[in-house]
Homo-oligomer: A and B are copies of this chain.
Amino acid sequence: MAARRARLVDAIVGLGRSEANLRTAVERGIIDFATYDPAAAAHDADLVVMATPIRAMPATLRAMRPALPPDAIVTDVGSVKQWVIENLEPELGPAMALVAAHPIAGKETTGAGAADPSLFQDHRVLITPSARSTPEAIEKIETLWKATGARVSQMSSAAHDRIMARASHLPQIVASALAAALHDAQIEGVRPTEFGAGGLRDTTRIAASSPEMWIDICLTNRAAIIEALAGFRTLVEEFAGALEQSDAAALKNIFERGRAMRRGLK
């Protein structure tokens, strides 16, 4: 939607699985053509934007590959970058380029009905160049994202994955685990979740996100997430120990570090 508004694209073909979603995309003018057929989507495509759950990307690209122009550029919007590079590069034709990218913005809703061209305004987009990223291809992807109002920068895919394990994947896991822990809770026949206020709502908001998407992020950024989750588990055990000991100073230390982090968020 943003690329069209910026007149960066001619025709946009949507390759999808769900008729309802493709229909919505056509009706909202997000795409010009809808198809279930990877070869039809690939035909004449200058640029392929992979936006499936991460683990579906290699097979999707493989199915498109025979019909793609030899110099097609492939990019993606996945939240994990090393796995995407390692698994998409082998699927490229010899003259194709890959520019792995991650727009850091999202909603807990999915599908064409939730599409919002202002979603990326003032958000970051990280580009993680790899062996198969040509300068021309990188420039094209930067131009595309800048047209959405995003701030584009580059970093290594390894740093990206460890940073996002903390800034995005860990918060999702914590929110989902909190929500799952409260799912069946009952006290004297009452559901505690009916007595939550804004704190419960905010803390669990992203737990409504797509399980399918998040399973793939967890499995493809597994090592970095295990590392980030270990830091959180240590903190929770520290808190539980302080509470069992009624150690006010230790509790204060954790609450104050938490407040300092939150106040430092821009």
Contacts and interface: CB of A to CB of B under 8 A. Distances in A.
A252 interface: yes
Contact of A177 (B215, B236, B266): B236
Contacts of A204: 171, 258, 261-262, 265
A188 B164 CA distance: 13
A243 interface: yes
Contacts of A257: 179-180, 183-184
Interface in A118-152: 123-124, 126
B199 A106 contact: yes
Nearest to A213: B255
A8 interface: no
A154 interface: no
Contacts of A244: 226
B198 A235 contact: no
Contact of A258 (B176, B254, B258, B260): B176
A207 B248 contact: no
A231 interface: yes
Given A193-B261, A259-B208, A178 B167 contact: no
Interface string A88-127: 0000000000000000111100000000000000011010
Q: How many copies does the complex hold?
A: 2
Contacts of A236: 174, 177, 229, 232-233, 236
Contacts of A237: 233
Contacts of A259: 176, 179, 207-209, 211
A202 B202 contact: yes
Given A180-B257, A214-B255, A258-B179, A197 B123 contact: yes
A4 interface: no
B200 A203 contact: no
A190 interface: yes
A51 interface: no
10 contacts: A175-B199, A177-B235, A177-B236, A180-B261, A201-B265, A204-B262, A211-B252, A215-B255, A229-B243, A233-B236
